Amino acid sequence: MICLENVVTTYRTRRGDVNALNDINLRIEKGEFVVICGPSGSGKTTLLMTIAAMLHPTSGIVSVEANSLYAMSVQARAKFRAENIGFIFQMFHLVPYLNILENVLLAGGTVNNSNKNAKALELIEKFGLAGRHYHKPAELSAGEKQRTAIARALLNNPKIILADEPTGNLDSDNATSVLGYLSQFHKAGGTVILATHGVEAGRFSDRIINLHNGKVANPDKP
């Protein structure tokens, strides 16, 4: 279970403070497929990064399976992230200098697994990119880049996938196939949290959480 208690995140900039998350309280059960919906600037990316153990909140507690993410050492948090969480970024975040195979292997983190190369090749094939593993991201279409990003997110067999606008840059066929892969991961027991300002992902999800100005607009009943 993922649990957020009184989470506040304020970005401090030279032009002043920006309150991105304003007292978020949230529980997401293991195996749920949750969609975080909200307009641009409502805090979706900030919330996902916070759950992904990548962004220390200004205050509040974030825990995954009773592990308090920001009470851990930096090293322990990185290990926990590598072993449990796959992240699909809003703009793919593929490294332009590395080929597809190397980009997928980037998810290596601290997990040591001699079969990683074979697993990466298997995922690349599964996502319809067989034969393209030595290509650079610039040589791929948007849909292919996103499938590479999904392969990377799945490399370490995570329990949780966090997907930030994974279909935002895709046409409807590619969007449907990406949502299909996430749905497969969910049906196999994985937890999915997907942020979007669209509505198309709603049909795959168990629950929609609406975010407005860094607040949950439809909070859990006590």
Ligand X SMILES: Nc1ncnc2c1ncn2[C@@H]1O[C@H](COP(=O)(O)OP(=O)(O)OP(=O)(O)O)[C@@H](O)[C@H]1O
Among 18, 78, 98, 121, binds ligand X (CB under 6 A): 18
Among 2, 4, 20, 120, binds ligand X (CB under 6 A): 20
Contact region for ligand X (CB under 6 A) — 37-45, 92-100, 127-135, 148-156?
37-45
Residues 168-197 that bind ligand X (CB under 6 A): 197
Cα 64 from Cα 222, distance rounded (Å) = 20
Contact partners, residue 185, CB within 8 Å, separation at least 6: 154, 161, 192
Cα 42 from Cα 2, distance rounded (Å) = 20
Contact region for ligand X (CB under 6 A) — 42-50, 128-136, 138-146, 174-182?
42-50
Cα 3 from Cα 29, distance rounded (Å) = 9
Nearer to Mg ion, 44 or 132 (CB): 44
The answer to the question of residue 46 lying near ligand X (CB under 6 A) is yes
For 130, the token pair is: 């067989």
Residues 35, 39, 45: CA angle, nearest 5 degrees: 60
HSE-CB of 60 using CA atoms within 13 angstroms: 23
Pattern 26-55, binding to Mg ion, x per CB under 5 A? Answer: ------------------xx----------
The answer to the question of residue 41 lying near ligand X (CB under 6 A) is yes
Binding footprint of Mg ion on the chain (CB under 5 A): 44-45
